[in-house]
Amino acid sequence: MEKPERKIEHLIVISYDSFSISDWELAKSLPNLKRLIETGSYSTSVRSVYPTLTYVVHSTIVTGCWPDRHGVFHNNPLQPFIEEKDQFWHWYRKDIKVPTLYELAKQNGFVAAGILWPVTGRADIKYNLPELAAVRGENQVLKILKNGNPFYSLEMEMRFGKYRNGINQPELDDFSTMCACHTIKTKKPGLLLLHLIDLDETKHRFGAKSDEARYAILRMDERIGSIVNSVEAAGFSDHTAIIILGDHGQLDVRYKVHLNNLLLDNGLIDKSGEGYEWKAYLQSADGCAYLHVKPGEEWAEEKALQVLRSALVSERYGIEEIFDRNTLDSMRAWEGVNCVVEAKEGYKFVDSIGSEIVEDLSKSGTRHATHGYSPNKPGYSCCFVASGPGIRKNFDIGEMDMVDVAPTLAAILGLDMPDADGEVIYDIFEQQRD
């Protein structure tokens, strides 16, 4: 294929976390996204990666590689029986094992900026405010200064920190958007990576189909408008492409399942003082769970599989399928385990040992949605919009894979990503090819 003629000097990538096909009808009717769709190309059929967790997917978005190559398999490294609020995450660039788009951009003369983009701690990004959280007594400000660009991070905090309310939404995304708008106008980055989380957080708290989620979509459109206006104010609209994309969908949940209770009941987890010892452990990704086996206890894998197969037959525990290594290889999933348990829609898995194995959230009036499921679940695909000079207008791309995003973004900048697993979506370009 002939590469498209380069017309873009600035590329703004907005990760619209949890933006999926279920949000499309409302979102496309709103003025700012509608404008980008009408002046660009779009897809509502982007197949994500497995599991559909934010850090796994964002690592794919900037590398064009499946998880079996980039190495980020979960939001969190394995930390058995540590409460989620106290767990470390895959915050750092070193956790990604392959080259990234922002490094490629720098090598070719583009200045990069990142605002709360996952897995960018200590990344080679000139203007970097990474997504990090203080845990186990850490200081949040010091952690960001140590692992991002300290001068840039301080500047953003001094200018816009008063608009934040900790990490609460919608204030956090308002802060991030202000940082992005200021960065566009004053730093004029060739590549800006922005992660907006309001919709994802709202769906988790209130449900995927809630009124609150609809309001979050309205807020998101206003933020998109602010960013478009900033590009216009900066004076480089004629040389800028704007990308809006979701990383995963969300599905409403009624039942929370403590699958490790089953391993406890079958001697694969033992109570030890105030904690637990384990030979096999299920690390939840909400919509699925990895079966880990402690080194030296390989015999425990078959016993754990016997327990899980029995649970699958009973149907009570919300297990839809047990993926073996052959199936996981076909999905290009992480190679560190031999088994992943997939949840049915309406169910989620959690790591903790519970007072009961299956909790019915409806009894407490709890509304909740989540992700982590197979990207092949019906009605679970992601959305993608690309608008800018040289990009076809109001063009429906159709089906594409998440691994296609990075090489396509590189092509928009006139660059190649030869190490990517995905392919350039050449159909979005106006320039005709043979």
Spell out the alpha helix ranges (H) of 80-165.
101-107, 140-147, 150-160
Q: Amino acid letter at 61?
A: I
130 cis-preceded (ω within 30 degrees of 0): no
Give the separation between CA 179 and CA 14, rounded to whole angstroms. Answer: 13
DSSP state string for 233-270: HHT-GGGEEEEEE-S---EEEEEEEETHHHHHHTTSEE
Phi, psi of 45 (to 5 degrees): -130, 50
Q: Is 340 helix (H, G, I), strand (E, B) or coil?
A: strand
Q: Find, among 19, 57, 393, the residue nearest to 241 by Cα.
A: 393
**pTM for the predicted model, two decimal places:** 0.97
Give the separation between CA 323 and CA 371, rounded to whole angstroms. Answer: 17
According to DSSP, the residues that pair with 25 across neighbouring strands are none
The residues, any chain, with a CB within 8 Å of residue 213's CB and separated by 6 or more, are: 23, 199, 202, 203, 206, 207
Give per-10-residue mean pLDDT for the chain (434 aa): 72 98 98 98 98 98 98 98 95 98 98 98 98 94 96 97 95 98 98 98 98 98 98 97 98 98 98 92 98 97 98 96 98 98 98 96 97 97 98 98 98 97 97 51
Domain 10-249+379-428 in CATH 3.40.720.10? The answer is yes
Phi, psi of 159 (to 5 degrees): -75, -40
Task: Say what the pLDDT of residue 431 is.
Answer: 76
Give the separation between CA 76 and CA 201, rounded to whole angstroms. Answer: 18
Give the separation between CA 198 and CA 205, rounded to whole angstroms. Answer: 11
As a dihedral over the C-alpha atoms of residue 138, residue 60, residue 212, residue 289, rounded to 10 degrees, the angle is: -80
283: its two tokens:
């690390």
Task: Say what the pLDDT of residue 432 is.
Answer: 47
Task: Say what the pLDDT of residue 234 is.
Answer: 97
Task: Say what the pLDDT of residue 274 is.
Answer: 84
Instruction: Give the orientation angle of helix 171-186 with respect to helix 211-234, to 10 degrees.
Output: 10
Q: Is 222 exposed, middle or buried (0-12, 13-18, 19+ CB in 10 A)?
A: middle
- Location of each CATH 3.40.720.10 domain in the chain: 10-249+379-428
389 cis-preceded (ω within 30 degrees of 0): no
Q: Find, among 395, 399, 377, the residue nearest to 386 by Cα.
A: 395
Q: Is 63 exposed, middle or buried (0-12, 13-18, 19+ CB in 10 A)?
A: buried
- Location of each CATH 3.30.1360 domain in the chain: 252-370
The residues, any chain, with a CB within 8 Å of residue 299's CB and separated by 6 or more, are: none
Task: Say what the pLDDT of residue 4 is.
Answer: 58
Domain 252-370 in CATH 3.30.460? The answer is no
Whether the CB-CB separation of 24 and 249 falls below 8 Å is answered with no
